[in-house]
A and B are shown apart, each in its own frame.
Chain A
């Protein structure tokens, strides 16, 4: 695990503070998450209930419930920000790894939330749509909404079980086996809590003291609580690690509070209502103790790993220290270079192959089978050079430079022209060539060279697929000396063979023939 280490920068707060703040913000977040989900489930249920002739009449109670969705979901989102910030700071590696291993699902949360929120808000505001449409819309929104906690729970389960990361990868980046069972119960437990909290909220705030509604929704609270007992037992038995006493104490408090809540519900009179002053503290006690247990369970795996990761981070930091100053100096010099003049562009982007003197002897030249061209010998046209620069030369190392806009490419061409006259016509052949040699050269061109270069020097059908292709002699030539050099030695790494066996005069004759094909 030595190459697994915490993020190298210092944490802004101590681990204790981070954990404390995380608990507080997560609790706030969860209150509204549970209300959001509970509200969504209840509103869809009561829509169906009303529609199928339920006793609650024409009031469209589902709308009343759904009206609160806007506030719940908005607060759930914003309050989640702090929890996300704190867990990413405090438990960077386990959390980000959990996120990353389930990355596609994690990123889909955004899409799911947008679909669910827009749909529910549309249902809540666009008061009357057709029943079937409303139902379909609502159910789709509910499915997307319910998928979100499923993903969050899966990410947390992954983050907390670092010993199972390899198994998860081997399983195709999915939870499997006991972990999947644990995930399922944990997820269902969240939904159960959402039903209890959502129902409790609407019992007090959406029933307008109508006893029929209160009775109806009380059933949800009771059913939710009973479901939570069963799911809780299953979740407890599926925990990957045996919980220690502090976890058990928190759970005991939560379970007892839940039992007290049931007792309170079952002891109220038939026609009276629950008292919010009695219920609220109990409900909050359940939430806080359960979330405390959750945090303790998480910490039993996170804390030892984080300690190790911080030790590893220190060691890695130490290994990198010798490079620190060097890196800063390089950064300083890098940001002082602006690629806006032909000279700079040449120096930075071309020199390592073509050399400081543009003679093709850059530091990397020796590593290339096809040597970089001696730019100082190039005699070509502006469009042809531009084409080479923006298309590269296929079959060679020469890349294309379209990341330089045309102004920069033009500046580079101007620079090369001012320094090496690359846009001039080739100079006349510096030696006198006897007529016979010239004739022999012409014969050789007509019999041999034309096969690739074409009679007109623009390439032949044969050489069309060559990589790199021969240049177009009507637009591109080299200085006579360099042309002579290429004819004599060939062009390494390409199809162009050496013709050193030809008499020198004849080779100069070929230079003349080739360079005369060049048009101004």
Chain B
């Protein structure tokens, strides 16, 4: 490959991206779209009902939100890109070339979003009285930009799952308006409003408010949560119905992982969480501040859990591809894999070539692992390759290497010559028996300082 490789120790590359991405989605959806919409609605209520309570609530809420959105939300959003730039340069670099225009337009929208929210925030105290209406329009235009931003990103995310005709015709439009585009967009928007309503209740309880106002606001956010959560369930069903079954069939494993043999857990936890959620919504609709206050923390955690679960499943059921029909998850191209099987992975790796003087099975194996496996596996951390192959014989490992993609359909094939497969099997076998100690796990270890030591 044309890029050097970095492996995040312990956490692993995939998990590093996932942690940042989930944090971003919670803020991006829950706060930047959902909660901010609640702010604009609250401001409108304040204006229409001439209610100081709604007005003050909206203003204070905005102050809190803008710090989190601009300080954490925007940074972690760019962060997904930063992390993938370091860990999957070929993947992100190729996606950028296909989706340059949505990305570029997204930049303009994103910039407008920030400019508008800053105007909205800084003019709150200045645009009062007659100009209040105008101020509310500014809030509405922010929501418009935020939704446009979701629209653009969803096209790219949907493509990674349902590329439609792209692998064959490489046409941008079939890539962008792919089959899962619309249901995913609607799911994200309704999910955002549900999250936003729940966060708003959280803020309502975390700050001191008039009892009467609190009840009124609670009822309103309860309605929003109920309506948007129900919509999200319907859109989620629609969304999953358009995803091809090839990898969707692994959704339960994607959620349960080590508990894959107790699938009841999935249903029990889902049932309990929906029950708590419904209980919370009912108590909010009835204006019961006591029960709502008790349930808000569990409901917040459940919502975060749902987001993590959805994103986790979505990423997982992409199968072994970063770009379906074009690039595997380990950044090897589909058409490149058979080429490397004949021509050799090490032979065609610039970085292995220039950093290794005396090839041996350890540095060769370590490099092959880094290139072919390290996007998902670590050595000694999460999804530890040593645990995965523990107990296998060397010939067994070799056979598995030859059939990764067949045996485990969401794993890419191993790319390399027969000789390289043997080296890899030997390396992994020695590794699983703790006969190799690695110097620097983040690089194609054990190479340290560029030359063998």
Contacts and interface: CB of A to CB of B under 8 A. Distances in A.
Nearest to A21: B104
Interface in A435-486: 467
B334 A93 contact: no
Given A13-B100, A88-B96, A80 B78 contact: yes
A135 B403 CA distance: 60
A96 B89 contact: yes
A170 B450 contact: yes
Contacts of B92: 88
Given A107-B86, A328-B325, A349-B407, A395 B391 contact: yes
B355 interface: yes
Given A9-B97, A403-B250, A4 B350 contact: yes
B263 interface: yes
A103 B111 contact: no
Interface in A169-210: 169-173
Given A81-B110, A166-B355, A110 B76 contact: yes
Contacts of B79: 110
B451 interface: yes
B423 to A, nearest CB: 16
B100 A334 contact: no
A431 interface: no
B75 interface: yes
Interface stretch (B208-216, B251-259, B307-315): B251-259
A114 B75 contact: yes
A109 B82 CA distance: 9
A150 interface: no
Given A74-B74, A349-B406, A349-B407, A9 B449 contact: no
Interface stretch (A41-49, A261-269, A336-344, A495-503): A336-344
Given A106-B85, A331-B325, A320 B395 contact: no
A344 B244 CA distance: 16
B3 interface: yes
A170 B74 CA distance: 36
A28 B46 CA distance: 38
Given A7-B94, A338-B246, A404 B2 contact: no
The range of chain A's interface size is 35 or more
Contacts of A301: none
Contact of A101 (B4, B107, B391): B4
A84 B319 CA distance: 29
A70 B66 contact: yes
Contact of A169 (B2, B115, B408, B449): B449
Interface string B160-190: 0000000110000000000000000000000
A397 B256 contact: no
Interface in A56-96: 70-71, 73-75, 77-82, 84-85, 88-89, 92-93, 96
Given A5-B2, A101-B4, A323-B336, A88 B85 contact: yes
Interface stretch (A223-231, A365-373, A415-423, A510-518): A365-373
A129 to B, nearest CB: 15
A16 interface: no
Q: Classify the interface of chain A: helix, strand, loop or mixed.
A: helix
Contacts of A467: 391
Nearest to B170: A9
Nearest to A319: B339
A122 interface: yes
A348 B249 CA distance: 15
Interface string A325-338: 01110110011111
A110 B20 contact: yes
Interface stretch (A250-258, A290-298, A374-382, A405-413): A405-413
Contacts of B240: none
Contacts of B107: 78, 81-82, 85
B324 A396 contact: no
A396 B396 CA distance: 7
A71 B83 CA distance: 25
Given A77-B75, A320-B339, A406 B114 contact: no
A173 B70 CA distance: 32
* Nearest 4 A/B pairs, CB to CB: A397-B396, A394-B391, A96-B89, A12-B100
22 contacts: A9-B97, A9-B98, A81-B107, A82-B104, A84-B81, A89-B93, A96-B89, A97-B3, A106-B82, A323-B335, A327-B337, A331-B334, A337-B246, A338-B246, A338-B249, A348-B406, A368-B395, A395-B393, A396-B392, A399-B396, A405-B261, A405-B263
Interface of A: 1, 3-13, 70-71, 73-75, 77-82, 84-85, 88-89, 92-93, 96-97, 99-101, 103-104, 106-107, 109-110, 113-114, 117-118, 121-122, 125, 166, 169-173, 309, 319-321, 323-324, 326-328, 330-331, 334-340, 348-349, 352-353, 364, 367-370, 386, 390, 392-399, 402-409, 467, 493
Given A110-B79, A406-B263, 18 more contacts: A70-B66, A71-B118, A77-B75, A85-B96, A85-B104, A93-B3, A100-B3, A170-B450, A172-B448, A320-B336, A323-B335, A327-B337, A336-B246, A339-B249, A352-B407, A390-B261, A396-B391, A402-B261
